[in-house]
Amino acid sequence: MAVDLLERLRARLSEDGLEAEFAHGLLAVQLPREALLETVHRLKNEFGFDLFLDVTAVDWPDRDPRFDVVCHFYSTHDHVRVRLKTRVPAADPVVDSLVPLYGSAAFMERECHDMFGIRFRGNEDLRPILLYEGFQGHPLRKDYPKEREQPLVRYRE
Amino acid sequence: MTMRDTDETLPNPVRPAFDTPSTEDGVIVNIGPSHPATHGTLQIIAELSGERVVRADVHCGYLHRGFEKECEAHTWHTLIPFVDRLNYCSALINNFAYCDAVETLMGVEITPRTRYLRTLLSEYSRIADHMTCIAASVMELGAMTAFLYLMTIRDWIYEHLADLTGARVTYSYGRIGGLAHDLPEGWLERLEQILDEYEEYVGRIHGLMDRNRIFIDRTRDVGVISTEQAVHWGFTGPILRSTGVARDLRRDTPYLAYPELDFEIPVGINGDNYDRYYVRMREMDESVHMIRQLMQMLPDGPINVDDRRCTLPEKQRVYTEIESLINHFKLVIDGPQVPAGEVYRAHEAANGELGFYLVSDGTGTPHRVHVRAPSFVHMGGLHKLLEGYQLADVVSTFGTVNMIGGECDR
Amino acid sequence: MSHDHEKTGAFEYLTTRKDELVGWARKFSLFPYPFVTACCAMEFMSVSSTMYDTDRFGAALPRFSPRQSDLLMVVGTVTHKQAPILKKVYEQMCEPKWVMAFGVCATSGGFYQNYAALQGIDKIIPVDVYIPGCPPRPESVIDGIMQLQEKIAGSSHPIVGEKF
């Protein structure tokens, strides 16, 4: 039943011209960023993926577009997972926000913005969540050196 | 020492979502991040109308230690100690979930003995985690005795795991392809003793807390959430189960030795604090039941899979054969070579779905390691549990949500 | 002149005895402020409980207000985001106060040598005793408390001015 759902999903997505393949137990879909919101709508309303697991990004500095924004979804009824991947260029790192569909997207998008600088159109609250006010740069990008500290409190002598 | 106003020299690391009250008699209060009841570091900026919380703005990130950036500077093996310190109350579950993800990506199949041992130790860690959560949350409500009872058992569990792994809290026991070493002599007998003591002590906790008028008044119908709201805000684990649905990855997407075990999934009725407490108590009992079954089912055999891509060769061979020497050298210096690709594997941790998303570029160092931390997602929905209830209920609700800072902030 | 010598000798005898008395009282009535952040909290909970009891040293009752406590136990990693809060809490405590760095992360940053973690709390506040370990065994913590007690007992405690 679970695999049926994924097969149906794969067939439906290929109708939209989106390629999907099975990878280590879930269905991985590569799509352009313009198709993201509509595909997630379809996942939630037609195919029952009610739990939004995660959104994160991967930095490939030698490639253009530079970032991969990766979202994972889970269906609590059918117990299957889906991964959506979309490519985002460094010059314009903007993706649609999933906050209108899933409440849990709010914090996760803030973290993605903190760490990579990806902006989520539709999420007005992109304050730093893991970092602090005044932190310059985005640490998980490959060009941010790991040891560069930005202390808030002056060190004593 | 001269008196000096420090506020102007110390910057505020966060920007609150609101700084003026929405009602005339509203007051904005800051709870944390150094607070006895926020176990770990969390800041809640709450707007109160009288005693009632009208709006809550949750700020985490005070324990962000750069785990994901550190992982990119270490090999797949040497980052296992960092993985421990995510959910430090049940560190073995983190170890095994991470090793499972790497093994999936590498295509390595673990031995049967390891499969059962990992399941047994995951359940053992889950008991320690739930114990810590319950002990801390009831202590905040004033039940010092229950805290001390549970800490006593937990100390025995820690000493017992120190016999096995060498450390009390952060074990680094999982290895890619197996475990660090096998069980010592007499370990299972001591386990049986601890489980018997556990049952006696937990019986006392039940006697002290379950029908306690004060405890019921403070936790019943406090922090209520419905199943749809819980799923919408991303809650998993005991919080989701307390709303009445039996969603458990051990049953829904089984892994390790769970398909062969007989266990129930406790669910709550209301989705309030009392249900979360009771679901955790019953889950501990189910874990003990599972451990007893696993102790009977444990097969003999090797711990580590015989695969030179990830398992260090025996010292005898390293010192006598050149191939083993080179293999050992390459595994230690470069790390196990994981083929390029990506994987997402999730285990049912004590707090919910703990997922590892790994991206490999074909070398011995990860390109990207991302942890889907249940506590972090729960903090996104915490305001739903706090709004509409009283200020004192913040303490009660926060305790049962079991935010672990290492996992939330990574 | 000889009269002054006698007076000085008696005065020093009295202040030494007073220092010992006050030191004895202070070392056995520590009010810790557990500034708890991370994994070391597990060992802090263990060391406060029945197996390894800090109550034996009089250091069991935590005071969660810096105004009422005298031992700041920094338990766990302090990140740069948390550093202003630590400094503020430290400055709100009244003299005499002591600081214990519990765990390797508080001592030196631990193995988090990156942008996020403060590489040791002694970069922002003075520390009296360091307890290494990740996390330290409860016996190490008790050893640290005992060393701190020796330090307290051996230090001078000016309560009033020297001319009294």
Residue by residue, what is the 3-state secondary structure of A20-55?
EEEECCEEEEECCHHHHHHHHHHHHHCCCCCEEEEE
- Whether C84 and chain A come into contact, CB under 8 Å, resolves to yes
Instruction: Please indicate, yes or no, if residue A154 is contained in any of the structural domains.
Output: no
> So what's the pLDDT on residue B127?
94
Angle subtended at Cα B145 by Cα B141 and Cα B149, rounded to the nearest 5 degrees: 120
Domains of chain C: 31-154 (3.40.50.12280)
B92 phi and psi angles, rounded to 5 deg: -65, -35
On the question of pLDDT at C164 being above 50, the answer is no
Q: Is B308 exposed, middle or buried (0-12, 13-18, 19+ CB in 10 A)?
A: middle
From CA B47, how far away is CA B24, in angstroms rounded?
11
On the question of pLDDT at B105 being above 80, the answer is yes
A95 phi and psi angles, rounded to 5 deg: -135, 155
Closest to B92 (Cα-Cα) out of B166, B199, B41, B198:
B166
Segment B111-124 shows an average pLDDT of 94
| Chain C neighbors (3+ CB pairs < 8 Å) | A, B
On the question of pLDDT at B143 being above 90, the answer is no
Q: Is B44 exposed, middle or buried (0-12, 13-18, 19+ CB in 10 A)?
A: buried
Q: How many domains does chain A have?
A: 1
Sign of CA dihedral A81, A84, A90, A91: negative
Closest to C86 (Cα-Cα) out of A147, B33, A131, B43:
B33
Instruction: Please indicate, yes or no, if residue A148 is contained in any of the structural domains.
Output: no
Question: Which tokens is B173 given?
Answer: 């026991």
Residue type, C33: Y
Domains of chain B: 67-409 (1.10.645.10)
Contact B132, C49 (CB under 8 A): no
Contacts with A81 (C-beta within 8 Å, 6 or more apart), sequence order? A25, A26, A27, A53, A72, A73, A74, A75, B344, B346
Instruction: Please indicate, yes or no, if residue A135 is contained in any of the structural domains.
Output: no
Instruction: Please indicate, yes or no, if residue A103 is contained in any of the structural domains.
Output: yes
Instruction: Please indicate, yes or no, if residue A142 is contained in any of the structural domains.
Output: no
DSSP label at C65? S
Pairwise CB contact (< 8 Å): C113 & A146: yes
On the question of pLDDT at A105 being above 80, the answer is yes
Higher-confidence residue: A14 or B68? B68
Residue of B nearest to C65 (CA): B35
Closest to B131 (Cα-Cα) out of B142, B146, B117, B141:
B146
Q: Is A10 exposed, middle or buried (0-12, 13-18, 19+ CB in 10 A)?
A: middle
On the question of pLDDT at B366 being above 90, the answer is yes
Interface residues on A facing C, Cβ-Cβ cutoff 8 A: 131-132, 139, 144, 146-156
Contact B82, B67 (CB under 8 A): yes
Question: Which tokens is A36 given?
Answer: 């993201």
Element (H, E) at B371: strand B368-372
Share of chain B above pLDDT 90, in %: 63
Segment B7-26 shows an average pLDDT of 79
DSSP label at B139? H
Segment B94-105 shows an average pLDDT of 93
Mean pLDDT taken over chain A:
89
Instruction: Tell me, rounded to whole angstroms, the distance of Cα B27 from its chain centroid.
Output: 35
Query: B residues 86-115 near A, CB within 8 Å?
Result: 104-105
On the question of pLDDT at C4 being above 90, the answer is no
Pairwise CB contact (< 8 Å): B168 & C50: no
> So what's the pLDDT on residue C1?
45
From CA C90, how far away is CA B1, in angstroms rounded?
13
Question: Which tokens is C52 given?
Answer: 């390894």
DSSP label at B190? H
> So what's the pLDDT on residue C8?
61
Residue of A nearest to C84 (CA): A153
Segment A108-118 shows an average pLDDT of 92
Segment B27-36 shows an average pLDDT of 85
From CA A88, how far away is CA A85, in angstroms rounded?
10
- Whether C83 and chain A come into contact, CB under 8 Å, resolves to yes
Instruction: Please indicate, yes or no, if residue A127 is contained in any of the structural domains.
Output: no
> So what's the pLDDT on residue B2?
42
B311 phi and psi angles, rounded to 5 deg: -95, 130
Which range among B48-52, B187-191, C61-65 has the greatest average pLDDT? B187-191
Segment C116-121 shows an average pLDDT of 91
Sign of CA dihedral B409, B241, B126, B93: negative
Q: Which residue has the tokens 């002590």?
A: B201
Contacts with B214 (C-beta within 8 Å, 6 or more apart), sequence order? B141, B142
Sign of CA dihedral C111, C115, C116, C120: positive
> So what's the pLDDT on residue B5?
44
From CA B236, how far away is CA C161, in angstroms rounded?
62
Domain with A105, as residue range(s), is 2-121
Contact C42, B409 (CB under 8 A): no
Question: pLDDT band at A12, cuts 50/70/90?
Answer: confident
Give the model confidence (pLDDT) of B148-165 as tens digits. 999 999 999 999 999 999
- How many CB atoms sit inside 10 A of residue B196's CB? 11
On the question of pLDDT at A10 being above 80, the answer is yes
DSSP label at C79? B
From CA C111, how far away is CA B79, in angstroms rounded?
11
Contact C84, B12 (CB under 8 A): yes
Question: Which tokens is B19 given?
Answer: 């700084």
> So what's the pLDDT on residue B8?
55
Q: Where are the alpha helices (DSSP H) in chain C?
A: 2-27, 40-48, 83-92, 104-108, 138-154
Mean pLDDT taken over chain B:
90
DSSP β-bridge partners for residue B172: none
Sheet containing A51-59: give its strands across.
A19-23, A26-30, A80-88, A67-75, A51-59
Question: Which tokens is B204 given?
Answer: 């006392």
- Whether C118 and chain A come into contact, CB under 8 Å, resolves to yes
> So what's the pLDDT on residue C159?
63
Nearest to A139 among C83, C115, C126 (CB): C115
> So what's the pLDDT on residue C2?
47
Q: Is C107 exposed, middle or buried (0-12, 13-18, 19+ CB in 10 A)?
A: buried
DSSP label at C122? G
> So what's the pLDDT on residue B346?
93
Distance from the A72 Cα atom to the nearest Cα atom in chain B, whole angstroms: 9
Element (H, E) at B340: none
Share of chain A above pLDDT 90, in %: 39
On the question of pLDDT at C157 being above 60, the answer is yes
Closest to C83 (Cα-Cα) out of A157, B45, B33:
B33
From CA A140, how far away is CA A58, in angstroms rounded?
9
Pairwise CB contact (< 8 Å): A133 & B13: yes
From CA B339, how far away is CA B331, in angstroms rounded?
14
Share of chain B above pLDDT 70, in %: 98
- Is residue B16 reached through a cis peptide bond, with omega within 30 degrees of 0 on the bond before it? no
Rg (C-alpha) for chain A, rounded Å, is: 18
> So what's the pLDDT on residue A116?
92
DSSP β-bridge partners for residue A124: none
Question: DSSP letters of A91-148?
Answer: SS-EEE--TTT-TTHHHHHHHHHHHH--EEET------SSS-TT--S-TTSTTS-TT-
Three-state DSSP at A59 gives: strand
Segment C109-122 shows an average pLDDT of 90
Give the model confidence (pLDDT) of B307-332 as tens digits. 888 888 888 999 999 999 999 999 99
Note the ipTM here: 0.93
Share of chain A above pLDDT 70, in %: 98
Residue of A nearest to B58 (CA): A129
Instruction: Please indicate, yes or no, if residue A156 is contained in any of the structural domains.
Output: no
Distance from the C105 Cα atom to the nearest Cα atom in chain A, whole angstroms: 15
The CATH number that applies at residue A76 is 3.30.460.80
Contact B152, C53 (CB under 8 A): no
Distance from the A12 Cα atom to the nearest Cα atom in chain B, whole angstroms: 23
From CA C53, how far away is CA B365, in angstroms rounded?
43
Question: Which tokens is C10 given?
Answer: 């008696």
Distance from the C50 Cα atom to the nearest Cα atom in chain B, whole angstroms: 7
Residue of B nearest to A76 (CA): B247
Question: pLDDT band at C160, cuts 50/70/90?
Answer: low
Question: Which tokens is B195 given?
Answer: 């489980």
Closest to B121 (Cα-Cα) out of B166, B72, B160:
B160
Three-state DSSP at B353 gives: strand
Question: Which tokens is B67 given?
Answer: 């785990």
Give the model confidence (pLDDT) of A57-84 as tens digits. 999 998 888 999 999 999 988 899 999 9
Instruction: List C-alpha distances in Å: C136 to B155, C50, C59, C121.
Output: 14, 17, 18, 17
Question: pLDDT band at B379, cuts 50/70/90?
Answer: very high
Q: Is C157 exposed, middle or buried (0-12, 13-18, 19+ CB in 10 A)?
A: middle
Give the model confidence (pLDDT) of C7-49 as tens digits. 566 767 776 777 788 888 888 888 899 999 988 989 998 998 8
